[in-house]
Amino acid sequence: MENFDNYKSMADGVAALMHSHAEVVIHDLQRQEIVYLANNYSNREIGSPSHMDEVEFADGDRVLGPYRKVNWDGKILKSISVVMRNNIGQAEAMICINLDMSDMNRMYQVLGMMLAAPEEGHEPEENSGEKSDKIAEIFRDDWHERINVFIQEWLQGKGLSLQVLGRSEKRNLVIALEAKGAFQGQGSANYVARCLGLGRATVYKYLKEQRGSA
């Protein structure tokens, strides 16, 4: 990726300007993996797959979003993705900026200001439907997001939060994730371990026990 140093500097600059509210992720579209993280709060890792190998970027695809995401800890993120092109116009990277809306949502609740992240289906401009389809196409295989959403739904259904989970409850959550096929993605066990504050070996132990009893 010929412009990587420039993209990295841009990511560091955005993260520094909006510290600690913004995370910036650089995807290498040729290698199909994350190659840089600035102010990482999403528990992702460099080298994690991007799952965008089947996406065909049109010449007009430059800025995608903003769109709404759910972080591993349940926080709402307002995100935007920028397609970066090399000197001959080929899409070589995607820079994703994730903005933690927690503080702004608290301000919204106190002051009544319209600062919440846009909901799915929000169409603020012409051709927004096409952009929404492109975003859905890009992130259709984002198992990080599916795991995040499932964890939050599981917690809400039981009236719990990550902060109060005991070991047995974390084991039950791992088993529930396994039942949903959450561990099929590369590196998913490591990701779940970080989200739940468990050792990777502990997650594998729970999975082995569950698969052995099935």
If one counts every other C-beta atom within 10 angstroms of the C-beta of residue 127, the result is 10
Q: Given this model, what pLDDT does residue 83 score?
A: 94
**Do residue 110 and residue 9 come from a single domain?**
yes
Q: Are 102 and 167 in a shared domain?
A: no
The separation between CA 180 and the C-alpha centre of its own chain, rounded to angstroms, equals 18
206 and 153 co-located in one domain: yes
Examine the domain organization and report whether 132 and 153 are in the same domain. no
Residues 13 and 115 grouped into a single domain: yes
Rounded CA-CA distance 142/69 in Å is 11
Helix runs in 77-199, H state only: 102-111, 128-138, 143-158, 167-179, 188-196
Q: Which of 95, 112, 141 is the last residue of a domain?
A: 141
70 and 120, same domain (yes or no): yes
Per-residue pLDDT of the chain (214 residues; tens, 9 = 90+): 779 999 999 999 999 999 889 999 999 999 999 999 999 999 999 999 888 877 777 888 899 989 999 999 989 899 999 999 998 888 999 999 999 988 776 666 665 545 455 555 545 455 556 666 666 666 666 788 889 999 999 998 998 888 889 999 999 999 999 998 898 888 899 999 999 999 999 999 999 988 877 5
Give dist(CA 171, CA 97) in Å, integer: 32
Encode pLDDT of 99-120 as tens digits. Answer: 998 877 666 666 554 545 555 5
What is the reported pLDDT for 141? Answer: 62
Same domain, residue pair 129 and 186: no
- Same domain? For 33 and 91 the reply is yes
Distance CA 122, CA 128 (A): 8
Which residues in 93-123 are b (16+ Cβ under 10 Å) and which e? Answer: bbbbbbbbbeebbeeeeeeeeeeebeeeeee
The residue range of the domain holding 44 is 4-141
Residue 172's CB: how many other CB atoms inside 10 A? 15
Query: At 23, which helix (H) or strand (E)?
Result: strand 22-28
Please tell me the predicted confidence (pLDDT) of residue 59.
80
- What pLDDT is recorded for position 108? 63
Q: Tell me whether strands 33-38 and 63-70 are parallel, antiparallel or unpaired.
A: unpaired
- The tokens for 138 are 């890009």
Residues 67 and 171 in one domain: no
Which tokens sit at 120? Answer: 């799915």
pLDDT value of position 113: 44
Residue 163 DSSP label: G
Same domain, 95 and 192: no
Check residue 205 and give its pLDDT: 94
Of 57, 5, 67, 8, the residue nearest 29 (C-alpha):
57
Q: How many domains does the chain have?
A: 2
Q: Phi then psi for 35, rounded to 5 degrees? A: -115, -10
Q: What percent of the chain has pLDDT over 70?
A: 82
Does one domain contain both 101 and 79? yes
CA 48 to chain centre: 11
**Torsions phi, psi for 95 (to 5 deg):** -105, 120
Report pLDDT for 54: 72
What pLDDT is stored for residue 107 in this prediction?
Answer: 67
Here the tokens at position 64 are 């995608």
CATH of the domain at 130: 3.30.450.20
Q: Does one domain contain both 69 and 148?
A: no
Last residue of a domain, one of 115, 141, 167: 141
Point out the domain boundary residue: 141, 166, 194. Answer: 141
